[in-house]
Amino acid sequence: MEEDQVRPFNQDSNQSRSQTWTDSYDFHVSNVSVFPVLWDLNSNTSLALNSTPLFEFSDADNWTTAAPGTAGPEYGEVGAIPYAYKVVLIILYTFTTIAAVCGNSLAIVVFTRGKRSNTDLRPFLINLAAADLIMAIFCIPFTFAYQITGNWVFSEIMCPIVQCCQVVSVAASVSTNTSIGIDRLVAVKFPFRKRVINSYTRLVILGIWIFAGSLGSVPLVTSRTTEVNGKLKCEERWSNHQYELAYGFSISIVTYFLPVTILTVTYTIIGRHLWRHKLPGNADDHRDAVQLKAKRKVSALE
C-alpha cells in the first residue's frame, strides 16, 4: 500500500492564517491569562495594548479564529479590522472620548466650586473623576489608534507613559470606588464615628494615588517599542516569565477580585441594615415616607 502523502505545514498558506469554526483550533489566544476576566494581563497588564484578539476578520468579513503561532495584522493582531468596522469604531470612540473628557471635567468643576456639593463624598467623587479623566486623555485615544492602525505611530517615550497611565487610572478608579463603599458603611453603621473618619479622607486619597502609582511604575519600566514585521509594537518586555505571571496575578487580585469582594460585603451589610432598621414610636406615614426616601438616597450614594 502506498504511503499517504503528508502535506507539510506552511504558515504562509491561507489555511494556517485562519481556521474556521469546524477546525481543531476552535479558540486560540496567544497570551493566556491567569484569569479569563483579565486574560491579557500576562503579556500586557495595561488593557490589552499588545493583545492578540480571539477573533479576526477574513477577506470576506467572516468571523474566524486566529491561527496559533502567527504574528502581524494579517494573522488577527491589531489592525486586522475591515474598513467599514473601522469607520464605526472611529465614530464611537471619538464620541466616547469627547463625552468622557467633557463629563469628568465638568464633574470636577461642579464638585470643586458647587455650593450644594459640599458633602462627605465630594473628595472621593473628585478623585474618581480625575482618574477617569486620565483614562480619557492619555489612554483611550492612543490605544484606539494603535488598535486601528496596527502600528505604534507615536513617539517611543509615549509607549511606557500610556501603559503606565492605564494601570494608574484603573487602580485609582477602582480603589476610590472601594473607599466610597467603606465610607458609606461607616456612615450607616457607625454614624457617630463618621466625623473622625472624615479627618483621614485626604490621607486615604493620598494612599490611593501612591498605591496606583506603585502599580503603574512596573509597565513604565518594562514597556518599550519593538519592530515586528516592519511595524512598531508597544509591549511589555519581561526578563523573567515568573515575574510577569506574579505581576499579572497581583493586578488581578488588587484591581478586580478584592474590590468586588469588599464592595459586595459592604453594600450587602448596608442594605440589610437600612431595610431592617425602624424608627421608634408609633407609626407615622409622613415620617416613614421620609425615612424610606433617606434609605434610597443613601443606597444610591446621592
Per-residue pLDDT of the chain (302 residues; tens, 9 = 90+): 444 444 444 444 444 444 433 343 333 333 333 333 333 433 444 444 444 343 344 444 443 333 333 333 443 455 567 888 888 888 999 999 999 999 999 999 999 887 766 677 889 999 999 999 999 998 899 988 988 888 899 999 999 999 999 999 999 999 999 999 998 888 888 877 666 566 788 899 999 999 999 999 999 999 999 988 888 999 899 989 999 999 999 999 999 999 999 999 999 999 888 787 665 555 555 555 655 565 555 555 54
Instruction: In whole angstroms, give the CA distance from residue 302 to residue 299.
Output: 8
Question: Torsions phi, psi of 264, nearest 5?
Answer: -65, -45
Residues 162/167/173/176 CA torsion (nearest 10 deg): -130
Q: Which long-range contacts (CB under 8 A, 24 or more apart) does 96-101 make?
A: 96/140, 97/136, 97/140, 97/141, 97/144, 100/132, 100/133, 100/135, 100/136, 100/140, 101/133, 101/136, 101/137
Domain ranges of the chain: 83-299
83-299: CATH topology is Rhopdopsin 7-helix transmembrane proteins (1.20.1070)
pTM exceeds 0.75: no
